[in-house]
Amino acid sequence: SAVPFGLQIYSCTLPGVIAPGFDDGPWIYSEDILNRMEAAGIKATWFINGANKGNIYDYNSTLLRMVDMGHQIGSHTWSHKNLATLTADGVKEEMLLLEEALVNILGYFPYYMRPPFLSVNAVALQALKELQYHVIIGDLNTKDWQYQSESGIETAKKLFTDGLDLGRTIIEAHEQEEWTHGVLIDFMIQTIQARGLKTVTVAECLQDTQPY
């Protein structure tokens, strides 16, 4: 892959596309979000945990459906620890536990990850490089987890449209948040459709044919 390992990546290299990404699942909202995306013809990348709000083994069929729909699955670590606070071995354990689960469920594991809290340091980046992970930070953060209320989600919506106006391309939102599921997802879909934007996976937007 021409995409570097162990370096923080912020933006797409393929022009004219955006790459929506959703962290912290899988969760009870995943299937409903997939239904809406399928109806709208929108692709996304799902940076998932093994044991965060839900347990990954309760969502085998959801993960298989994501792949069947042409979405990408990436790692968000096993248990959503702040990698910048861990030793190299601690970072690797968080990654390898999820790899093992995804091999059991899918038969393979991703080369792509997004760090919890977008937090890494030199030790974590070196460990991720040794494990051959592309470290996705993104450049359009809806900060939706901070704005989980009827009035607050309006701020996340504005961050989304402002980011698109600025030409930003790799998006972060959180699929397990109630107001994201209830309001922000539909707003994102409607905005993408109204603007005629093409959605792709993060790997596709980096012109990489080997996400796994």
Could you give the 3-state DSSP secondary structure of residue 177? coil
Whole-angstrom distance, CA of residue 107 vs CA of residue 131: 18
Whole-angstrom distance, CA of residue 60 vs CA of residue 122: 34
Q: In degrees rounded to 5, what are phi and psi of residue 73?
A: -105, 130
Of the candidates 154, 145, 147, 148, the one whose C-alpha atom is nearest the C-alpha of residue 118 is: 145
Pairing of strands 8-9, 134-136: parallel
- Catalytic position from the list 71, 80, 134, 174: 174
Q: Is 174 a catalytic residue?
A: yes
Question: Looking at residue 184, what DSSP letter applies?
Answer: I
Whole-angstrom distance, CA of residue 36 vs CA of residue 34: 5
Q: Is 23 a catalytic residue?
A: yes
Question: Looking at residue 76, what DSSP letter applies?
Answer: -
Whole-angstrom distance, CA of residue 52 vs CA of residue 11: 27
- Catalytic position from the list 23, 24, 144, 208: 23
Whole-angstrom distance, CA of residue 198 vs CA of residue 57: 32
The residues assigned a catalytic role are 23, 174
